[in-house]
Structure 1
Amino acid sequence: MPLTILGIRHHGVGSTQNVIEMLEQIQPDMVLVEGAPELDSIISWIGNEQLRPPVAVLGYNVDEPQQATFYPFAEFSPEWQAILYANKRQIPVRMLDLPLAIGFQQKKNEQEKENDIAEETDIEDNNIEDSKPLEPLHIHQDPISYFAEIAGYDNSELWWEHHFEHNYIANSAKEHFDAVMLMMTELRRANIPSVLDEENIAREAYMREIIRKAQNELYDNIVVVCGAWHAPALLDVDSTAKADTKLLKSLPKTKIKVATTWIPWTNGRLSMYSGYGAGITSPGWYDFLWKKGKRKDFAIEWLSLVARLFRKKQIDISTAHVIEAFRLAETLTSLRGLSRIGLLELNEATQTVMCMGDTVLLSLVKDKLIVANRLGEVPDELPKVPLQLDFEKLAKSNRLALTAEKKDYELDLRKELDLNRSKMIHRLDILEINWGQKVYARSKGTFKEAWTLSWKPEMYLALIDKAVWGNTLEDTCTKYLIDTSQKSQNIGKIAENIQKAIPAELFVAIEFLLKKIDEVAAISADILDLMTALKPMVEISRYGNVRKTDLGAIRQIVDALLTRICIGLPNACYGLDDDNSRKVFEHIKQVNEATKLIENEDLTQLWFDTLKKLLTKDGVHGIIQGCTCRLLLDVQEINTEETAERFAWALSQGQEPSFSAGWLEGFLKGSGMILIYDHVLWNLLYKWVAELPQEYFTELLPILRRTFSQFEPNERKQLGEKAKAGTIIQSLEFTTINENFNPQFAESVLPMLETLLGITRL
């Protein structure tokens, strides 16, 4: 029975053109294409007008959707064109590889084995005598690179492209595949190691088993399209039958159910090693070669596209640039002994002539033309999980395009469409599907949001993974939040979930989470946990009526949280070491910021009273007391005279130098402006440092450096100038007006200031 093996490179344009030619010549009655057999149920869609590559088959474990793999296809992929050929002529076509179910089971078994070894292994760190010597590391080289090196290439992919993909010659497909078969046969005969050797043994045995099955069904003109490396292993299917049967029986038995569907893919991700085989780094260029590569003037047409792209970006490019770039590319091709201009030559000519050597401009060509990132399309009637259907319906109704290109949206939450868009993006974020990246909105206020959206194909997998929680996006998010919070005793995590649920308008989840956080907060004795929860709860109030959320219950919880914090904080700060004091220091600053948003004078005053207790309480670390002193000064709860007294006390000789350094660190809070303008505090600090004994100064120097390193460069410069002058003597005399001062000239700016400030003169 005739059996023709066509060894190809995945996504290779030359391979595809030769495959089509061979299929036309052979007219097979069965086509077998490399890929998992589970794909048989889905490849019949190839040829449907609504299935537009780049697309990929997603194969996943039904019970554990996170265990999945992708089979990407471009229009110029040999596998795509082979299946398309068979479907158009109604010729049986099947996939040829190890089933995904077995592959998934093998990975699960390997993971379980690794976990068992990790649990059983207990090697002592210093037991050098009993430890075994490490095995030498085997570095596997790409087998094709041996031919490439002989030919003078340091890149095997480039060598393959020049010899097998870019030099398609009509009516010579048989010679092409004979050359590929001969090369791969010699490489395999030489036993050149590959990282996939062990995996390929089982895969190729299964491939041969599928070929034998097709032959037993009396197909007598079979064409196999597979990766070039596998081609020699599939020639002999008769003498290997017994060994293959024995090998396949040793494969793990599995009950894993695999589902498959088509999903849109992107050009950029054709370069990933996903599912099988080698990828490409220049899909836009390959697509151009597929459509225009047979023309003699294809290189000029490519350079014309480059020129058109530059002109759109307001870059001056003339026809002369295109001509000179083409001549340079031709010269480079000739010097390198190539039969045809390649992408490398065109890029070098473009950078030299059109970009004037600028690599930044060439990166624009790579992004827009060489990769030309775009998203494929799939038919609506494809089998999908309900959650995926609901998502696509919402995206369509909200007019959000699923595109790989980054697209900016500025949303006005007072408009229904924009509010619905915001809810959808926030709900996806809850499911850890980060379609939108939040950016700074130009307009202030809680009714404005700005997002940058960029869809990635893998996000479909995340949707399928979360489909176990519900059939709609709203239901899925609600159940997911409730389940992840139900057993949690972490107030901060629950508060974070509330913060996510409100902009997503998940009212059922919000009601549950509010009850949960109130319940946990009532029994929690961890003050830091309560402080962590306060800030997100307070920030929720910024959504107001725009989100149509009743904030009454939230405000009650905020009041209760702050009250518990104020009661427990003084005792929680007693006797802390340096590390824990710095943690509390950061939490105190966060709570203080949060209280500024609380419109409750009684609670705000309660917080200030708590800070005053910390300021005078014995056993509290200096960094905490310094922080509270500064916070109270900033809101004028203590005056400058009292602050100076506290500053002098903290830096007095009776204090431990480490306490004084910590107090200073907490007081300054990463800003040195107060030392620049307050000469009293500066003099106290200067005197303290000057009078430190040498051994204490050396000990405290790292702390002081850390404190002052957080200041702005300009602040450090001014403090350095001030340090040169030493202590500052404040003059009690009033500053005299400069004799050259011109009152009329000064008054001339007043009308403009009044206009800017909106002041009306009486």
Structure 2
Amino acid sequence: MPAFDTGGVRVLGVRHHGPGSARAVRAELERLRPEAVLIEGPPEADALLHLAGELEPPVALLVHRAGRETGSGTGGWAFWPFASFSPEWVALRYAVDHGVEVRFCDLPAAHTLAEEPGRPDLGAGSPDEVTSDEETPGEREPGEEPPGEEADPEHTRADPLGVLARAAGYDDTERWWDDVVEQRGDGEPSPFPAIQEAMAAVRAEIGPGGVRNQRREAHMRQVLRATLRAGHHRVAVVCGAWHAPAVHETVRHTVKADTALLKGLPRTKVDATWVPWTHGRLATAAGYRAGVSAPGWYHHLFTAPDRPVHRWLTDAARVLRQDEDRAVSSAHVIEGVRLAESLAALRGRPLAGLGEVREALTGVLCEGEETRAALVHGRLALGERMGSVPDTVPMVPLQRDLAAQRRRLRLKAEPFIRDLDLDLRKESHRERGVLLHRLRILDVEWGVPRTPEGSHRGTFREAWRLRWEPEMDVALIEAARWGATVEEAAAARLVDLAGRADLRGVTALTEQCLLAGLDSALPTVLARLTDRAATDGDVTGLMAALPPLARAGRYGDVRRTEGAQLRTVAEGLLRRVCAGLPPALHGLDDDAAAHMATLVDHTHHAVTLLGEEPLRTWTATLAAHAGDDRLPGRVAGRLDRILNDADELDRDTLRRRLARTMSPGIDPARAAAWLEGFLQGSGLILVHDERLLDLIDTWLTGLAPERFASVLPLLRRTFGAFAAPERRQIGTAATRAVPPTGTVSLPLDPERAVPALDSVGALLARAATDRRNSPGRAEV
């Protein structure tokens, strides 16, 4: 094969995220002083390369279809991530800092996004998987074919690094690559000639890969030829090690053949921008196939080339002292370093790797506590951090508006989970909550509502859990079709959703409209709600739609929104529910009765928010039908409990209904179902009403054994739903209950009592003997 130093072209085959490769690229560029640098990446981003000096890695190039509609579900976007230890990033920073021309040379994303919009590595399923970064030296599928093209199974299963690692006597591919490349120090000979020669040998054995790989390499050669024709004599090409032989041997491939490979490819219009990225998204655990197992470790190796083991264990000791409250001294660190270096020497490694420092952390700093060591090691190995991009990068107006609001409201986008508690009585807090609700309407789940704890419950409180993910920038770009600002886009999206939703969906959207402060969309959404309510004859649908509408109307004033109109609509729904409720309560099986009891419960809680007059109307409707023996037992019990709690049912009437339900002529299963509906949610009424408890106790004790066995599962389900303290209180009350007929006398069988009396006598005699044999013990 041609020598590596042929002409003025240097092809640097790298791993896409590796500190050793990055240091080697930097050393080679400083030695070569190239006039132009070509980097594997999407050419559409060439206009953004001058911004590299203003970026803080990790960052990513985002290329997406221009004008793509939201929710198409076909992908249409892809990321190219860069960390501080990525060789491509080092090459890019060198070119920008030295004023050297720099270009991307991979197959344009305009082709790949048009050709394979649904392919997972283009971001449809996992947005952090990258189109052009996938065929890394460690990639297990260097010849993977796109869908619809026939692939050679031998090629798609081939692992070039695995072949080389086995030839070197390693059974762990990652460990071999780390030893040979990533843990190399500054000043060592360039590894690129050996890498290129090794990859050429593997390619000669297993083939160059599929058609997609060949097209990519053909485009790289085309860009290289154009750069040489432009008068640049010293050119450095930084690409994946798998592609290095094909790019270096440009003279062996004709222009005609490369042009034929690229002819007729589909094309779509795309836009590109820089977005922040995270170390978590660079990890293989996140599903990124070109990722690394420990981004934090690689970042450490790159930024601390001198004494990396010493510094790593020092950082671990600091974490143990500050976060775990462990007494870790400098002596622990010294002994940990000695152990890591000794293990590396025993294993024939040039430098202690991640495995050795983990064992040192476990055995010395954590003194054998594997769980604690795993937590600290995992935190350091990931080294979660998030990059940043300046305001000068291209953004859609929606992104710029969100960035401005984040700065104004002091909400920082962070890659880790943070809880946020808001007091809606404060203007700044209310605006934060409004922004988070608007983003959720746009499918940007930066904040997720959570249940507040303890004293933070209340209508004027909101609790959120925040975490920013890189793909949320994609969601913002997709949502840009709805408007230029977050408020405008959220309002337009809400109106669109309301036009296609059913009654229940429209009521939920009405509540979202108020939470998000979208007053401009409220009239349209309410009009949709009125239309749906007028044409929906399903009472259960109306009952399900009422609670969110009642909440919105009741708590509108807290959020400074108009609630009177909402309460008017809610009262109209309630009237229709009351008119259609009677027939809906009859002819229900067990499952339907349970669902109806839940709906009645939720509707009652909603009506209590609407005021006294609607509540009187609702309770009057329930009272008119509560005594109907044709109602399912669970529904009848629930109606009686609601009326009892609302003081609309006197105790004597309740006891008469209970006595009638539990009379001997009634099926015990119906009585158990009534009891389940009556006690649903809370059984404390049995603690405070002994006569009610007596009725239930008398009913149970009077059941025949076979009937008791049939209702026992229902009773267990009813009482098992109560909290343990509540069950204890009911049990205590049951032991105090006195049967209304007086003392119960049970027949005594003296013959059956004889064995028990003999056992008691033996126990007493034994206790007396123990006292005599132990005179020093206190008498009991």
- What TM bracket, shorter-length normalisation? 0.7 to 0.9
User: 1:270 deviation in Å?
Assistant: 1.9
- 1:24 partnered with 2:34: no
Letter in 2 for 1:420: E
The structure 2 residue matched to 1:349, chosen from 336, 343, 360, is 360
Aligned to 1:156: 173
1:624 aligns with 2:617: no
Pairwise mapping of residues 638-653 of structure 1 onto structure 2 (< 5 A)?
A: 638-653=649-664
Partner of 1:14: 20
How many pairs align? Answer: 694
**Separation in 2, partners of 1:475, 1:36:** 33
SS at match of 2:642: helix
Residue 68 of structure 2 aligns with an amino acid whose one-letter code is E
**Which of 232, 240, 260 does residue 246 from structure 1 map onto?**
260
Task: Pick closer, same or farther for the CA change 1:244–1:277 going to 2, 3 Å.
Answer: farther
Structure 2 CA distance for partners of 1:493 and 1:26, relative to 1, 3 Å: same
Give yes or no for the alignment of 1:168 onto 2:185.
Answer: yes
What is the rounded CA distance, in whole Å, between the counterparts of 2:105 and 2:55 in structure 1? 22
> 1:41 pairs with 41, 47, 56, which one?
47
Identity percentage over the alignment?
37
Bigger mean CA deviation after superposition, 96-105 or 390-399: 96-105
Out of 31, 40, 57, the residue aligned to residue 61 of structure 2 is 57
Question: Alignment partner for residue 475 of structure 1, among 469, 473, 488?
Answer: 488
Asked whether the equivalents of residues 227 and 277 of structure 1 are also in contact (C-alpha less than 8 Å), the reply is no
**CA distance change for structure 1 residues 58 and 680 in 2, over 3 Å: closer, same or farther?**
same
Q: Equivalent residue for 1:286? A: 298
Give the TM-score, by structure 2 length: 0.82
Report whether the alignment pairs 1:305 with 2:305.
no
Q: Does 1:427 align with 2:438?
A: yes
| Residue number in structure 2 paired with 1:266 | 278
Query: Do the aligned partners of residues 98 and 417 (structure 1) sit closer, same or farther apart at CA in structure 2, a change above 3 Å counting?
Result: same
Distance 1:76 1:484 in 2: 44
Post-superposition offset of 1:110: 7.4
Matches of 1:539 and 1:527, distance apart in 2: 19
State how 1:384-399 maps to structure 2 within 5 Å: 384-399=395-410
Q: Report Cα offsets for 1:299-335 as digits up to 9, x if no partner.
A: 2222222222323233321111111111111111112
Q: Distance in 2 between matches of 1:710 and 1:192?
A: 65
Give the SS at the match of 1:261: strand
Q: Distance in 2 between matches of 1:300 and 1:70?
A: 35
Structure 2 counterpart of 1:227, from 240, 245, 249: 240
1:268/1:281 contact within 8 Å kept: no
Q: Does 1:82 align with 2:91?
A: yes
- Is the alpha carbon distance of 1:532 and 1:455 closer, same or farther for their aligned partners in structure 2, counting shifts above 3 Å? same
- Provide the TM-score with structure 1 as the length reference: 0.83
Distance 1:347 1:83 in 2: 33
Q: Which residue of 1 aligns with 2:114?
A: 105
Aligned to 1:127: none
Q: 2:686 aligned with 1:682, yes or no?
A: no
Shift in alpha-carbon separation, 1:244–1:504, aligned structure 2, 3 A: same
Rounded to whole Å, the distance in 1 between the matches of 2:517 and 2:98 is: 52
**Structure 1 residues 661-670 or 145-154, which shifts more?**
145-154
Query: Is the contact between residue 448 and residue 465 of structure 2 (CA under 8 Å) also seen in structure 1?
Result: yes
The equivalent residue for 1:121 is none
Within-5 A mapping of 1:478-627 = 478-488=491-501, 490-600=502-612, 602-617=613-628, 619-627=630-638
AA paired with 1:84?
R
* Shift, 1:666, TM fit: 2.1
Write the distance in 1 (CA, Å) between the matches of 2:728 and 2:669.
Answer: 25
> Residue 369 of structure 1: SS of its match in structure 2?
helix
**DSSP 3-state at the match of 2:271:** strand
From 419, 422, 429, the equivalent of 1:411 is: 422
- In 2 relative to 1, CA 277–179 (structure 1 residues): closer, same or farther, beyond 3 Å? farther
Distance 1:142 1:526, change over 3 A: farther
> 2:316 corresponds to which letter in structure 1?
V
Gaps of 5+ in 2: 1-6, 70-74, 121-150, 744-780
In structure 2, what is the equivalent of residue 177 of structure 1? 192
For each residue in 1:55-104, what CA deviation from the matched residue of structure 2 results, as whole angstroms up to 9, or x when unmatched?
11111111226621111111221001111222233322221222212212
Contact 1:679 1:730 in 2 (8 A): no
CA separation of 1:626/1:447 partners in 2, compared to 1, >3 Å: closer, same or farther? closer
Partner of 1:128: none
Letter in 2 for 1:710: A
Tell me the CA shift for residue 479 of structure 1. Answer: 1.0
Which of these residues, 205, 218, 222, is aligned with residue 209 of structure 1? 222
Q: What residue number does 2:469 align with?
A: 456
Q: Return the letter of the residue paired with 1:335.
A: L
Task: Give the conservation status (yes or no) of the 8 Å contact 1:683–1:728.
Answer: no
Aligned to 2:203: 188
Pairing partner for 2:249 from 236, 243, 248: 236
* CA 431–109 in structure 1, closer or farther in 2 if over 3 Å, else same: closer
SS in 2 for 1:428: helix
Q: Which residue does 1:70 correspond to in 2?
A: 79
The alpha carbon displacement at 1:392 in A equals 0.7
CA RMSD for the aligned pairs?
Answer: 3.2
User: Residue in 2 aligned with 1:131?
Assistant: none
Task: Measure the CA separation in 2 of the matches of 1:315 and 1:206.
Answer: 56
Partner of 2:421: helix, strand, or coil? strand
- Which one-letter code corresponds to 2:259 in the other structure? T
8 Å Cα contact 1:431-1:466 kept in structure 2: yes
Q: 1:110 to 1:349 in 2, by over 3 A?
A: closer
Q: Identify unmatched segments of 5+ residues in structure 1.
A: 112-134, 734-762
Q: State the AA in 1 paired with 2:291.
A: G
Structure 1 distance, partners of 2:702, 2:86, is 76
Q: 1:333 to 1:549 in 2, by over 3 A?
A: same
Mapped contact 2:85–2:298 kept (Cα < 8 A): yes
Which AA in structure 1 matches 2:675? L
